[in-house]
Structure 1
């Protein structure tokens, strides 16, 4: 029943928001065309912590993202509390328009390649306008790590995982922004027959602005799929954002090692209570390819 309801939300929510936006815009236009203004800067970066935020790059803007996670803090002094181990992802994201972004990346974990499309369907407005920002996100992840010898006969399609999300956010004040992220992850291959190919989750998080250039972020993904929730853990991530010109530097503590949805949503095994905490960071740098200025 939860799955059916979830699918209905995925299908109907964008249509509902679009219809509501049209009605609100008509009303605003009939009364006062200058009554509403676009709300910007809901979040500082295109990532909330591990997951995507509603933010998109502007047209012609290229973002280079370096994501890094060390080992767990409970690995002990011999492993320098995780600093001797590392997982990394390199990514590029480009704004085809102000609302439509395309991205690619490569993670060292399972030698995974990923690509995504991200479209900002609705933008929050002030006063009589749209109350939230809505962004649609879809991605594909491909495992390129060699299969064990006994599984050499597996087909290429078994390497693929797909993710679909609705990212719904509202900037309540200059300091506080919150986001909900209904999520579906489909895995073409699962470890055992009883495991679920479709994993449903509800992400939630927010940002609290501390100073003009710093903020505290939090993010949590709750597994809605019963079987997956019994075997794996919900992901909790905390971050601290620092903006320096064209850079956004994010310090992160999380119980998930992977940095794409196929890892941190359906197959996370870390316990915060047991010290399975990965320290890491995201560094993003933007370049305006339409002009000489850097963002």
Structure 2
């Protein structure tokens, strides 16, 4: 009897082990939900925000330069004698939440923003085909007011923008996003101008090689500005990855380097050769534990 019981136990162990191994293989091979990354290599397309985020605990120091207009001629070294810049600091509070601040010499302007991603493009069970990103920001001009004959309140210096980014990485090579933007200026430049401006941004990235991509950034001004005076900002350039840096070389008709500035104050015309060469330099530092 004792031998029969021992034999039954060994038989149970023999047949149960393969079953457990097979169950383990089924679980490991089951489709998993995965988030799509690297739709853009920078948190900016060129001028505007991209659907991409920096990681939690990471600090992105950004240096942006826009030179003068190329058609200013050789006496101005085709615009290189002039320079406008923005110094910015973006920090990843969470993997889906970024805050940032910067200062531009265009208008002596301070700016800050909050960027949140409620929906992240993913594959597998429960996946979603696009990313949805919300951005809200504020700017404040610090240069002296042009009209000193009247009382100028601090609120007159403020402007605000809200943006929804809807984007998708279609393949390893191509990403596209649309971004409706609403800008409100507490004080317009002229009494005849509107305080509220509506625009639609389009951003695209086409990967050319392992470390280089073609990038385009365009904002169509739908309402709120005189199209005879103001132009739609358009930028075309290249992403170049160099270790911990993302270097963007670009050509643009915009001087401003935040949403309020380049949407409401672009007057140069691509068709007349009023184009500026510029670059964006991004360097990320990990301040906490990498996530």
TM class by shorter chain equals 0.7 to 0.9
CA offset digits 1:222-257 (Å, max 9, x no partner): 011054334310111001000112100000100001
Q: Distance in 1 between matches of 2:211 and 2:146?
A: 47
CA offset digits 1:163-209 (Å, max 9, x no partner): 11001110000000001010001000012222110100000020000
Change (3 A) 1:227 1:97: closer
Q: Is the 8 A contact 1:228 1:266 kept in 2?
A: no
Structure 1 residues without counterparts, runs of 5 or longer: 1-31
CA offset digits 1:30-64 (Å, max 9, x no partner): xx973432111110001101001011111100000
* Structure 2 equivalent of residue 267 of structure 1: 265
Q: Is the 8 A contact 1:199 1:228 kept in 2?
A: no
Q: Distance in 2 between matches of 1:61 and 1:226?
A: 37
* Structure 1 equivalent of residue 120 of structure 2: 123
- Cα offset for 1:118? 0.4
Given the alignment of the two structures, is residue 56 of structure 1 paired with residue 42 of structure 2, yes or no? no
Q: Distance in 1 between matches of 2:149 and 2:42?
A: 40
* Structure 1 equivalent of residue 39 of structure 2: 42
Given the alignment of the two structures, is residue 136 of structure 1 paired with residue 141 of structure 2, yes or no? no
Q: Is the 8 A contact 2:50 2:203 kept in 1?
A: no
Count of aligned residue pairs for this structure pair: 262
- Provide the TM-score with structure 1 as the length reference: 0.85
Q: Distance in 2 between matches of 1:118 and 1:139?
A: 9
Q: Is the 8 A contact 2:203 2:217 kept in 1?
A: yes
Give the root-mean-square deviation of aligned CA atoms.
1.7
Q: Distance in 2 between matches of 1:267 and 1:149?
A: 19
Q: Give runs of aligned pairs for residues 65-144 of structure 1, distance below 5 A.
A: 65-127=62-124, 129-144=127-142
- Cα offset for 1:73? 0.2
Change (3 A) 1:183 1:110: same
Q: Distance in 1 between matches of 2:168 and 2:146?
A: 46
CA offset digits 1:254-275 (Å, max 9, x no partner): 0001111122112210101111
- Provide the TM-score with structure 2 as the length reference: 0.86
Q: Which has the larger radius of gyration?
A: 2
Q: Distance in 1 between matches of 2:203 and 2:40?
A: 11
